[in-house]
């Protein structure tokens, strides 16, 4: 995937000129079928320049989410970790400290690391409770022994189908995110060189992903940590590697029935 510099787009509507640039999908590649009904989609969204996206769309009725947590001594790359667990696809996960401790709470197969944070930076949490994935905001979360997977991250990008306002709008860098329509359809994806504010606006764009309207989206760790891996149903692999070790990953696996 080509790394691109992002420029702000102008809108044709004076009422929106100061708050929401005009974005449109300028190119779509052919979808790549993965296992369990998941699909890898690649597209570009244009204003005055383009932001390239790769997203894995999947249904929670056919696929499961799993958090892979690792310490510094045993940390492997996303491309090494995903085949090892039989994953369909995966991305890098949450933030971590210079000493490699997680920033926020992490639960991986019932094992806990880190601590719950009340910082506005970590405004959301991906939870798997009794086998069901949920994307919750920090104030909605209630801890439970039935939670098997959890990743605290942020900031929030889309809420009720609208871009979250007040996000950072200067640092354009690679981004990783998770999104859902709150009706069983999910995305794990990466976007190349955009600000948090622009990413939020793009993810709230109607028709961005045909047949799915994003209701909630949450930012993961980005920059050098940004990574995506997917195995096509044909067996070929798509991989965008991270630049250095990261603390955790979020993986998509076939749901065991």
Q: Mean pLDDT for each consecutive 10-residue tract of the chain (257 residues)? A: 38 43 90 98 89 98 97 94 97 96 97 93 96 96 96 98 95 97 97 95 96 97 97 96 96 91
Q: What's the pLDDT tens digit per position in 40-49?
A: 999 999 985 7
- Is the distance from CB of 79 to CB of 231 less than 8 angstroms? no
Q: What's the pLDDT tens digit per position in 105-138?
A: 999 999 999 999 998 889 999 999 999 999 999 9
Rounded-to-integer distance, Cα 200 and Cα 203, Å: 5
Following CA atoms 119, 123, 126, 129 in sequence, which dihedral angle do they give, to the nearest 10 degrees?
Answer: 80
Select from 139, 74, 66 the least CA-distant residue to 106: 66
Q: What is the pTM of this model?
A: 0.91
Select from 212, 206, 217, 197 the least CA-distant residue to 21: 197
Long-range residue pairs from 158-162, CB within 8 A, at least 24 positions apart, any chain: 158/200, 158/203, 158/204, 158/214, 158/215, 158/216, 158/217, 159/216, 160/215, 160/216, 161/204, 161/213, 161/214, 161/215, 162/204
């Amino acid at each position: 995937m080509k790394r691109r510099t992002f420029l702000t787009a102008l809108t044709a509507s004076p009422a929106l000129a100061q708050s929401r640039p005009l974005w449109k999908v300028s190119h779509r590649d052919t979808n790549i079928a993965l296992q369990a009904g998941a699909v890898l989609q690649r597209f570009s969204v244009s204003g005055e320049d383009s932001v390239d996206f790769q997203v894995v769309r999947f249904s929670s009725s056919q696929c499961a989410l799993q958090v892979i947590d690792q310490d510094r001594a045993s940390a492997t790359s996303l491309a090494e970790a995903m085949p090892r667990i039989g994953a369909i696809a995966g991305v890098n996960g949450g933030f971590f400290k210079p000493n490699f401790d997680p920033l926020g709470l992490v639960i991986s197969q019932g094992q806990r690391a880190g601590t719950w944070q009340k910082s506005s930076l970590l405004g959301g949490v991906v939870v798997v409770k009794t086998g069901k994935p949920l994307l919750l905001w920090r104030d909605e979360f209630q801890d439970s022994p039935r939670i098997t997977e959890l990743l605290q991250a942020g900031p929030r990008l889309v809420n009720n189908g609208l871009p979250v306002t007040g996000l950072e709008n200067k640092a354009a860098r690679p981004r990783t995110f998770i999104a859902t329509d709150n009706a069983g359809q999910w995305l794990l994806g990466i976007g190349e060189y955009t600000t948090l504010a622009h990413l939020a606006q793009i993810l709230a764009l109607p028709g961005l992903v045909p047949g799915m309207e994003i209701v909630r989206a949450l930012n993961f760790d980005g920059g050098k940590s940004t990574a995506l891996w997917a195995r096509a149903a044909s067996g070929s692999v798509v991989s965008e590697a991270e630049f250095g070790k990261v603390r955790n990953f979020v993986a998509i696996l076939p749901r065991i029935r």
